Structure formats: C-alpha cells, structure tokens
C-alpha cells in the first residue's frame, strides 16, 4: 500500500474576459505560466519539501504524519496493495487531543464522508475504493494526525512530501 501526500493545487486557472478564455498562473496573473510545485509553492523548484518514505509491518494504528495548523491543499492517498480494493490498511485521523475524527476505535467508514473541522472541509472517499483519498483545500485551523490502521500483516509504504525544516 502506498500513501502519497502532495501539497499541490490547480496549476492553471482559466477565466473568461469578454467571452474569451484566458489562462492565469498560480500567481493570479493573466497569461502567466507559473505553476505550483509539489510542495505547493507558486513558481517553486520542489526544494522546499522533501520526500519521505518507509514501511509499516505492525498491525494496529501507525503514525504517518502530523498536518500543522495552516496546512492547505491536502491530498493524501492510500492505494490498495497490489491493486486490491481492500488490503486491510485504512487512513485514520485524530485531533490534537487524541480524539479520532475518522476511522477510530477499529471501526472504518466504507462510504464517502465530509468532515467539517472548524470551517475546513475534509473530504474522505471511504474504504470501498481502490484509492482511499483524504482531501482539504482550505487551511486547517488545528493540527491533525494522520495514521494508518492495519488489520492484517500487509505491508504499508507511506510516501509524502512534508515541508523541509
């Protein structure tokens, strides 16, 4: 299983002026070619974050990453092991107080869910898809911890791009 965390957003915006479609870059300027890099920096060079990967072999809840207050354009994906829809690994989210907001207490949600967290909408695809997805576009108002709950002995390899320190 693979988890991928990219701080990305739409690279080009299109707007209509007098009925003509005009491209705008991430800098908000018309006819700009600037794009967000994988770290979410407009016109960046992918150097402000680094790729981290590893492997979990333990069952139960496994820490992946803490998303800080202000994190935005969140896109976390957990792909089924070898293309399986259910590989017994599922995303879980808890708040700074340790309370599970998603897939806690060894109970997982098979259906799509929207979580409203202090004005930020967190969209969750549910576990019944080939790729389990957790997304938010607006900035988080509090830190969230992302974990993977593993019910079996399947391997889970996280990959994500946190900011460099």
Structure tokens given for 146: 């992302």
Q: In this structure, what DSSP letter does residue 70 have?
A: T
Residue 11: per-residue pLDDT: 40
Cα–Cα distance measured from residue 98 to residue 132, given in angstroms and rounded to the nearest whole number: 22
Structure tokens given for 160: 């994500």
Give the residue extent of every domain in the chain: 49-160
Please report how many Cα atoms fall inside a 13 Å half-sphere around the Cα of residue 93, on the Cβ side.
22
Dump strand ranges (E) for the chain: 2-7, 13-17, 20-24, 52-53, 60-67, 74-79, 89-95, 100-102, 113-117, 120-124, 131-136, 144-150, 157-160
Residue 5: per-residue pLDDT: 35
Q: What fold characterizes domain 49-160?
A: Jelly Rolls (2.60.120)
Residue ranges of the chain with pLDDT lower than 50?
1-14, 155
Q: pTM of the entire structure? A: 0.67
Could you tell me if 120 and 140 are in contact, meaning their C-beta atoms sit under 8 angstroms apart? yes
End-to-end CA distance of the chain: 27
pLDDT in tens, 143-153: 999 998 988 65
Cα–Cα distance measured from residue 127 to residue 130, given in angstroms and rounded to the nearest whole number: 8
pLDDT in tens, 1-28: 334 333 333 344 445 556 667 677 888 8
Tell how far CA 18 is from the center of its chain.
37
Residue 96: per-residue pLDDT: 95
Residue 138: per-residue pLDDT: 87
C-alpha closest to that of 67 among 58, 76, 80: 76
């Amino acid at each position: 299983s693979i988890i991928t965390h990219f701080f990305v957003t739409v690279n080009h915006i299109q707007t209509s002026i007098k009925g003509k479609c005009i491209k705008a870059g991430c800098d908000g300027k018309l006819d700009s070619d600037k794009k967000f890099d994988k770290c979410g920096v407009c016109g960046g060079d992918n150097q402000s974050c680094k790729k981290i990967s590893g492997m979990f072999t333990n069952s139960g809840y496994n820490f992946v990453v803490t998303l800080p207050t202000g994190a935005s354009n969140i896109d976390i994906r957990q792909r089924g092991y070898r293309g399986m829809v259910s590989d017994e690994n599922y995303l879980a989210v808890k708040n700074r107080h340790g309370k599970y907001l998603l897939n806690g207490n060894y109970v997982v949600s098979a259906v799509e869910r929207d979580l409203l967290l202090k004005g930020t909408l967190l969209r969750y695809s549910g576990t019944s898809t080939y790729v389990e997805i957790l997304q938010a576009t607006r900035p988080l108002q509090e830190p969230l911890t992302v974990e993977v709950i593993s019910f079996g002995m399947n391997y889970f390899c996280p990959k994500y791009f946190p900011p460099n320190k």
